[in-house]
Chain A
Amino acid sequence: MAQLEVDGVGVHFGGVVALDGLSFTIDKGQICALIGPNGAGKTTLFNVISRIYDATTGSVTFEGHDLLAMAPHRIVELGVGRTFQNLALVPGLSVLDNVKIGAHAKSKGGFIASTLRLPWVISEEKRLTELAMDILDRMSLAAVANHPCAGLPFGTLKRIEFARALAAAPKLLMLDEPASGLTHSEVDELGSIIQAIRDEFDLTVLLVEHHMAMVMSISEKVVVMDLGRKIAEGVPEDVRNDPLVIAAYLGASK
């Protein structure tokens, strides 16, 4: 059975139809790319899955859970992590704390225990610091750990978000244009990081990316969208040669 099932999801903003009965599935462990021209509705789908937007129709099921019935903060608890196309970091926290907050759902310590600073709160905090530092190390971000987020380059901020998403130990990781703001060599590096992390943590990855070379080289499945609908789906080679896909991209590039 598929791990994530998107079934007939529709979203509209006033007159704009952002998603129009979108359906697809992802199997556990897959790297699935979601591509399409600007405005196709890719980010909107992410926002539906994270419960930021309400879907008008359809359902999203993750490992048997009806995500659309969940409160937003429960989504990551169930194992769905994400990054944002235009960033959603916490400027008032250091890089390290931004990553630590990623593990919020997977850590304990409420108001009372934290106020009293019970011994297990201290050790939990230490565990979170270790965890976050390991991830930062891995993303070559350890040097900026104590830096405030503000003032860092866009590409670095995107990697910090990636690190934050990983801190939640997700089962499904949704990345919204992780390569934007990166240099060519950094994009290649990112591709191998995504693959390595998938293999090591047994992740499923839903990747939105305009960087076609990376998409085609690392994904096992590609879903192509245009105007809120799925227009093609399959392995990279098939999708690349699909006339509908070519038309959508040519039509969109003005």
Chain B
Amino acid sequence: MTESTDSVSSSDRSPAGPSQSPADGSTARTVTRARRVHPATIVAWIVVAVVVIALPFQLQAFRVNQMSAWMTIAIAALGLNLLTGFNGQISVGHGALFGVGAYTAGLMIIKVHSPLLVAVLAAGVVCFIVGVLVGLPALRIRGLYLALVTLAVATLFPLAVEQFNSLTGGNRGLEIRTEQMSSRGFMKMLPVRLASPFEGLADDQWQYFLFLAATVICLLLTRNLIKSRVGRSLVAVRDNETAAAVSGVPVAQTKIITFGIGSALAGIGGALFAIDLGQIYPSSFTIVISIYFLVAVVVGGAASTVGPVIGAVLYGVFSDVVIPELPDRLQPARAVILGVLLIFLMLAAPGGLVGVFKSTKAKMTIRKAAKAASANAAA
């Protein structure tokens, strides 16, 4: 009852002034109807695609494996972004769900010899359910209190894994080896025998492309969701629950399902992570990994579609490529270096890297419009 329901952030409430709208309504209309993709964007995506496909053929196997790991983080970060960036539910417990996914897939592969795809999807389903359960308190609490609940989950998960050591192997870890990870092994599982172009791929390359496919699929599916009617309702619930409810959005249901989906993505990422490492320990899933996801989301740009992927890759580059290159003297300070970098980045680009890109684009559009306007005035 303390919250004024009629409220909107005061920034929205500027004193009535002259309308700032462009003179001609019809131009806005065409802009809306035909939002064309800029050629530069298409070129950029093609370049990215070429690089991403070429890299595993240029780099050593251990690098390719590292990149595969970045992709598993990226998938989990996509889920966290949906939850925190778009739906405004803060979770610092996403690492636990990543862990649940990892152990689910690991156990499926070891105990029932399930095919990879089945194990990964099962991890997604299990994490959806766990996520819904973790998300239930979110109906009553929000903001920092919700963060605390998820913090508790993050802290408890490694302890729970140790507790059930007969199943999980406890601190000795869980070893996941499957011949499916080799291209030949995978082909053997297919019902039809194909002369496959993949046959020549080394295991690390094969895995890289498998993970790449998973990442692209997850990215496209979350993008679909974000750009839909449901995506709008997620943002409405985040920004103004009253506005959402009077528009017909079932607020509680939306929050819970989003918690489930965000967790399912973490689970899928975790499952792939387990497959990538081949060996998982409770200590792989501490609060540190939850923070890793948050950093990926924030650096890339919260509430942007590809931001989390960019953030995850950058973090990976930083911790796996840059840090090992630093002189030994600086090694103990790597957390500090990361922290300082993060602070600078947040000061320079509060909207994350995608935010920088967007505002540059907006500035260019405005400049172009201004130029056109002055040209018009001169004529």
Chain A interface (Cβ < 8 Å from any Cβ of B): 13, 43, 47, 50-53, 71-77, 81-82, 84-93, 96-97, 100-102, 104-111, 114-117, 121, 124-125, 128-129, 133, 137, 140-147, 149-157, 164, 168, 176, 181-183
User: Can you list 22 A-B pairs with a CB-CB distance of less than 8 A?
Assistant: A13-B1, A47-B5, A52-B5, A76-B246, A76-B247, A90-B236, A92-B235, A92-B239, A92-B303, A104-B247, A104-B249, A111-B225, A111-B230, A115-B221, A115-B224, A125-B229, A129-B32, A137-B29, A145-B28, A145-B29, A149-B12, A156-B21
In angstroms, Cα B8 to Cα A82, docked, is: 15
CB of A143 within 8 A of CB of B22, answer yes
Known: A88-B8, A91-B239. A143 touches B228 (CB 8 A): no
In angstroms, Cα B7 to Cα A52, docked, is: 13
In angstroms, Cα B249 to Cα A111, docked, is: 13
CB of B28 within 8 A of CB of A104, answer no
B25 at the interface (CB under 8 A from A): yes
Out of B12, B33, B246, name the residue touching A82 (CB < 8 Å).
B246
In angstroms, Cα B249 to Cα A141, docked, is: 24
Known: A73-B251, A129-B32, A142-B28. A153 touches B20 (CB 8 A): yes
CB of B6 within 8 A of CB of A84, answer yes
Known: A72-B245, A87-B8, A144-B21. A114 touches B32 (CB 8 A): no
B41 at the interface (CB under 8 A from A): no
Known A109-B229, A144-B28, A152-B14; 12 more pairs at CB < 8 Å: A47-B6, A73-B247, A81-B246, A87-B6, A88-B246, A92-B303, A101-B233, A114-B229, A145-B31, A147-B21, A153-B14, A176-B6
Number of contact residues on B: which range applies? 35 or more
Interfacial chain B residues near A89, Cβ < 8 Å: 8, 12, 240, 243
Interfacial chain B residues near A124, Cβ < 8 Å: 229
CB of B224 within 8 A of CB of A50, answer no
In angstroms, Cα B21 to Cα A114, docked, is: 32
Chain B residue with minimal CB distance to A114? B228
In angstroms, Cα B12 to Cα A150, docked, is: 5
Closest 3 CB pairs of A and B: A105-B248, A114-B228, A143-B21
B121 at the interface (CB under 8 A from A): no
Interfacial chain B residues near A144, Cβ < 8 Å: 20-21, 28
- 8 Å CB interface, B1-47 against A: 1, 4-9, 11-29, 31-33
Contact residues of B: prevailing secondary structure? helix
B309 at the interface (CB under 8 A from A): no
CB of B8 within 8 A of CB of A93, answer no
Known: A145-B32, A155-B16. A91 touches B11 (CB 8 A): yes
Chain B interface (Cβ < 8 Å from any Cβ of A): 1, 4-9, 11-29, 31-33, 221-222, 224-225, 228-233, 235-236, 238-240, 242-251, 257, 261, 303
CB of B232 within 8 A of CB of A72, answer no
Known: A91-B11, A114-B231, A125-B228. A73 touches B6 (CB 8 A): no
CB of B6 within 8 A of CB of A86, answer yes
Of A72, A152, A183, which is in contact with the most chain B CB atoms at under 10 Å from its CB? A72
Interfacial chain B residues near A183, Cβ < 8 Å: 16
Out of A43, A77, A87, name the residue touching B12 (CB < 8 Å).
A87
Interfacial chain A residues near B250, Cβ < 8 Å: 71, 73
Of B12, B17, B248, which is in contact with the most chain A CB atoms at under 10 Å from its CB? B248
CB of A101 within 8 A of CB of B228, answer no
Of A77, A90, A121, which is in contact with the most chain B CB atoms at under 10 Å from its CB? A90
Chain A residue with minimal CB distance to B15? A154
In angstroms, Cα B4 to Cα A159, docked, is: 21
In angstroms, Cα B5 to Cα A108, docked, is: 27
Q: Give min CB distance, A149 to chain B, whole Å.
A: 6
Interfacial chain A residues near B7, Cβ < 8 Å: 86, 88
Interfacial chain A residues near B235, Cβ < 8 Å: 90, 92-93, 97
Of B5, B11, B24, B221, which is in contact with the most chain A CB atoms at under 10 Å from its CB? B5
Interfacial chain B residues near A145, Cβ < 8 Å: 28-29, 31-32
Q: Give min CB distance, B251 to chain A, whole Å.
A: 7
